[in-house]
Amino acid sequence: MTLREGALVLADGSVFEGELIGADLGDSARIATGEVVFNTALSGYQEIITDPSYAGQIITFTYPHIGNYGVNAHDAESRGAFCRGVIVRDLARRASNHRSEGHLDALLREFGIPGIAGIDTRRLTRLIRDTGAMPGAFGDASEADLRAAAEAEPGTDGIDLVATVTTDAPYTVAVDGAPDRLIVAYDFGIKTTIVRHLAELGRVEVLPARTPAQAILDLGVDGVVLSNGPGDPEPLVEIVDNVRALVDRQVPLFGICLGHQLLGRALGAGTVKLPFGHHGGNHPVKNLLTDGIEITSQNHNFAVDADSFGSLGRQVQMTHVNLNDGVCEGLQVVGERCFSVQHHPEAGPGPHDARYLFTQFDQIMTGKASV
């Protein structure tokens, strides 16, 4: 693995020196740009890199040693990788694990994702935590060119990133022994692990993000999942209209991450951008219905504004809250068979505390439970 010197420059002018890894930036641009965020998970780097929710972003791993157990085909969360780049403190030179099928650097090259290693990620994380996620650029170009590229990077606000990650055509996932039931999953950037969990509840039809609500109703579905995905929900007006139509028709709905935000907007709630988002596998969430505490996997920069619930026409109830900062982590519409959470119950990677939500969705579809 041949490394060459490079640098990361943020839009505020902060400079970090390192060594370039992953895909070659090429001779013309020699620069990768994106919104720089940090992830606090201790493992699961392959799942994180292949999560489509990171479209438009450069991922900083706070855990210092990355790549030590390799990569394998099973742990990929999508058909490729949609992040703009990765930042690590130390990229392992060797991978040692019985499941390993290759090296992380080779995977980055395969997916066309550049990276930079040798970065002081503690300093970088503190900076993002104190000032918020910001655009950055890295490569072997001059410091002046990198800063100019960082300042020109638009970030993720107001941009439709779902269009860059959704499937082009419908596809079906089914497993032996699953109930005779049809579940539609809107692909806003859906993770493979979510599909695997849903396939245990019935046949899953994964559809493009802008599939009309009426087309789904015509299928005679038993339930609809609004998947995770990248970026800002505000510009996704057409998708929000489709979600609202499904809510009005009393279709069982389960929203996850971006799907939670889209359901909130469909109900009339607002959404806000968090200073540096929630990215990691160790976020404490309180279930307000049971008073239980769950450790959760999260990946989002935007959130539903729970303060707007009181002005809605429907009876919307906050069901979960993030104990770190009080952000709304879940909602349900009383009497309308739909609920959502901001965190990731499939936990790929992460703890399994919230997997009961798939059982809750199953019970709502079968009529054994309601909200």
Run of H or E including 114: strand 114-117
35: left (phi over 0), alpha (psi -120 to 50) or beta: beta
166 and 148 in one domain? no
344 among known catalytic residues:
yes
SS3 at position 71: strand
178 and 120 in one domain? no
- In contact, 42 and 33? CB cutoff 8 Å: no
Boundary-marking domain end, from 126, 152, 178 = 152
93 and 29 in one domain? yes
- In contact, 142 and 112? CB cutoff 8 Å: no
Asked if residue 127 belongs to a domain, the reply is: yes
143 and 212 in one domain? no
Asked if residue 353 belongs to a domain, the reply is: yes
Asked if residue 204 belongs to a domain, the reply is: yes
89 Cβ partners below 8 Å, 6+ apart? 61, 64, 65, 66, 117, 118, 119, 120, 121, 122
346 among known catalytic residues:
yes
What is the span of the domain harbouring residue 26? 4-152
148 and 169 in one domain? no
99 and 37 in one domain? yes
Asked if residue 291 belongs to a domain, the reply is: yes
Asked if residue 371 belongs to a domain, the reply is: no
Can you give the length of the chain in residues?
371
C-alpha separations of 67 from 74, 131, 149, 186, 233 in Å = 16, 29, 28, 32, 32
Boundary-marking domain end, from 152, 174, 207 = 152
337 and 202 in one domain? yes
235 and 100 in one domain? no
358 and 289 in one domain? yes
Boundary-marking domain end, from 96, 120, 152 = 152
CATH number of the CATH domain containing 47: 3.50.30.20
Tally of domains within the chain:
2
191 and 283 in one domain? yes
366 Cβ partners below 8 Å, 6+ apart? none
Nearest residue to 194 (alpha-carbon basis) of 206, 182, 177: 206
Mean pLDDT, consecutive 10-residue stretches, the chain (371 aa), reads 86 97 79 97 96 98 97 96 98 94 96 97 97 96 96 96 97 96 98 98 98 97 98 98 96 98 96 96 96 97 92 86 97 92 94 96 83 60
Tell me how far apart the alpha carbons of residues 351 and 156 are, in angstroms, rounded to a whole number. 28
266 and 130 in one domain? no
Catalytic residue among 153, 234, 329, 346: 346
74 among known catalytic residues:
no
> In the chain, how long is the greatest CA-to-CA distance?
62
178 and 141 in one domain? no
Asked if residue 170 belongs to a domain, the reply is: yes
Residues paired with 351 in a beta bridge = none
Q: Give the model's pLDDT for residue 369.
A: 59
CATH number of the CATH domain containing 336: 3.40.50.880
Helices (H), 74-137: 104-111, 121-131
C-alpha separations of 220 from 5, 194, 251, 336 in Å = 57, 22, 10, 18
Q: Give the model's pLDDT for residue 367.
A: 82
Catalytic residue among 47, 234, 257, 279: 257
Q: Give the model's pLDDT for residue 310.
A: 78
Asked if residue 157 belongs to a domain, the reply is: no
256, with CB counted inside 10 A (0-12, 13-18, 19+), is buried
